[in-house]
Structure 1
Amino acid sequence: MIINTLKALFERDLKRLITEIEQYKSEDDIWKVKGQINNSAGNLCLHLIGNLNTYIGKELGRTDYIRNRDLEFSSKGIPRQQLIQKVENTIEMINKTFDNFDENLLQTEYPILVFDEKTSTEYLLVHLTTHLAYHLGQINYHRRLMDVEHC
Structure 2
Amino acid sequence: MLIQTVKTLFRRDLERLRQEIDLYKNEAIIWHTERGIANSAGNLCLHLVGNLNTYLGAELGKTGYIRQRELEFSLKGISKASLLEKIDDTMVVVDNALNTLTETQLEGEYPMLVFEEKTSTGYLLVHLTTHLTYHLGQVNYHRRLLDT
TM-score (norm: length of structure 2): 0.98
1:107 corresponds to 2:95 = no
The 1-side partners of 2:133 and 2:20 are apart by: 13
Alignment gaps of 5+ in structure 1: none
Q: Tell me the SS of whatever aligns to 1:5.
A: helix
Show the counterpart of 2:91: 91
C-alpha distance in 2 between matches for 1:60 and 1:95: 11
Percentage of pairs with the same residue: 60
**1:20 equivalenced with 2:20 (yes/no):** yes
Offset from partner CA, 1:72-121 (integer Å, 9 cap, x none): 00000000010000000000011111122222100111111111111110
What is aligned with 1:132? Answer: 132
> How many residue pairs were aligned?
148
1:24-35 → structure 2 map (5 Å cutoff): 24-35=24-35
CA distance in 1, matches of 2:99, 2:112: 22
Shift of 1:28: 0.2
Q: Output the amino acid matched with 1:92.
A: V
Residue in 1 that maps onto 2:57: 57
Distance of 1:11 and 1:68 partners within structure 2: 24
User: Residue type matched to 2:62 in 1?
Assistant: R
Q: TM-score, normalised by structure 1?
A: 0.96
Q: Which position in structure 1 is the counterpart of 2:3?
A: 3
SS of the aligned residue for 2:59 comes to: helix
Query: SS at the partner of 1:33?
Result: coil
RMSD: 0.7
Q: For 1:101-144, what per-residue CA distance to the aligned partner results, in whole angstroms no more than 9, with x for missing partners? A: 22210011111111111111000000000000000000000000
Structure 1 counterpart SS, 2:117: coil
Measured in 1, the distance between the counterparts of 2:96 and 2:117 equals 28
Unmatched 5+ stretches in structure 2: none
